[in-house]
Amino acid sequence: MADADADAEIDPSTLQASANLRAMGLIVLGMGAFVVNDTLMKATSNELPLSQIIVLRGIISCLIMAPIVAMTSGLLNVVRVYSWPVFIRNVAEIGAVFTFLIALFHLPMANVSGVLQAVPLVITAAAALILREPVGWRRWTASAIGLLGVLLIVRPGTTDFSPYYFAALATVFCVTARDLATRMIPKSAPSFAITFITAIVVTVAGAVLGLTETWQTPSLGALVRLAGAAVLVLIGYWTLIEAMRTAEISAVAPFRYSVVVWAILFGYLVFNEVPNLSTIIGSAIVISAGIYTLHRERIAARKRRTAMTPRPA
């Protein structure tokens, strides 16, 4: 009885704080998993063409995902959940994967990661323009400042500018389209089924691109790296799903920016990439603008909940 009484006395806010703390750790871990995946993919780019890398990682991912989907939601749901939003999401994901890897293979990891931190800002603007979500002047200003930070990273017109930055910028818009399409998918659709569909579609797209490239016989090292990349991608997806389902999004979302720290660390340790001052300042501006945008969205959501709460007679 004493234990039951103790459990009953636990403050719900304490439980939520504990869940938030756990989710923060999961997100930092997930961002690290994604960056190590990127590192393994980039390390393989000198040995295999882009399409072959995508196909090999995709096949391994599908082989891992198939039993998970079968045990959780059932393989039949893979067909049942397919809809126009899922189709749009898949097309955007294909674009995001290809443009991201093109940028990753030719630019420093920290620079690519810094550019991609503009995604929340672009999503905010797109949600206002396309979904007609209310966005105040503060968030519009934050988005504009964040995009100035992106220009500091890209530095068009200078000798450091590379045309591959266009691929990184294209990734931002592809990810924005993917996330907006994801919002339109019914919540009843299992996340694992959607992830499995995406893995299959991206793998098929890689195989189609492979018709224009000359494939090589992969070494054992390349296969091990791609297998590790496939596992790490799935770990990254799982940690994000788990974190977002148990925690307050506004409390933990800023920890997604830890990906920049991971990218700088592994870029230096593995590829001896040292970000210049302009990249560091630009990334700091983009991240600050993104965190402020999340803060303003939290305030706006609180105001909407207050306005919807019926007042006592």
Q: What is the predicted pLDDT for the residue at 100?
A: 96
Nearest-CA neighbor of 245 among 1, 4, 70, 27?
27
Alpha-carbon span 264 to 248, nearest angstrom = 28
> Is 19 part of any domain?
no
Looking at residue 122, its pLDDT comes to 87
Residue 51's Cβ-count burial label (10 Å; 0-12, 13-18, 19+) is buried
Residue 224 lies in a domain: yes
Q: Which pLDDT belongs to residue 269? A: 96
Is 155 a member of any domain?
yes
pTM, full prediction: 0.83
Domain count along the chain: 1
The predicted pLDDT at position 202 comes to 94
User: What is the predicted pLDDT for the residue at 3?
Assistant: 53
Q: Are 42 and 203 in contact (CB under 8 A)?
A: no
Domain of 205 in residue numbering reads as 27-306
- Structural domain includes residue 43: yes
Q: What pLDDT is stored for residue 24 in this prediction?
A: 84
Question: Does any domain span residue 235?
Answer: yes
Q: Which residue stretches of the chain have pLDDT < 70? A: 1-13, 244-251, 301, 304-305, 307-313
Q: Could you tell me if residue 18 is inside a domain?
A: no
CA 151 to chain CA centroid, Å, is 21
The predicted pLDDT at position 246 comes to 65
| 222 within a domain of the structure (yes/no) | yes
Q: Which residues contact 219 (CB under 8 A, 6 or more apart)?
A: 47
Q: Measure the CA–CA gap between 152 and 163, rounded to whole angstroms.
A: 15
245 assigned to some structural domain: yes
User: What pLDDT is stored for residue 232 in this prediction?
Assistant: 94
Cα–Cα distance measured from residue 311 to residue 313, given in angstroms and rounded to the nearest whole number: 6
Which of 258, 99, 83 lies closest to 169, judged by CA?
Answer: 99
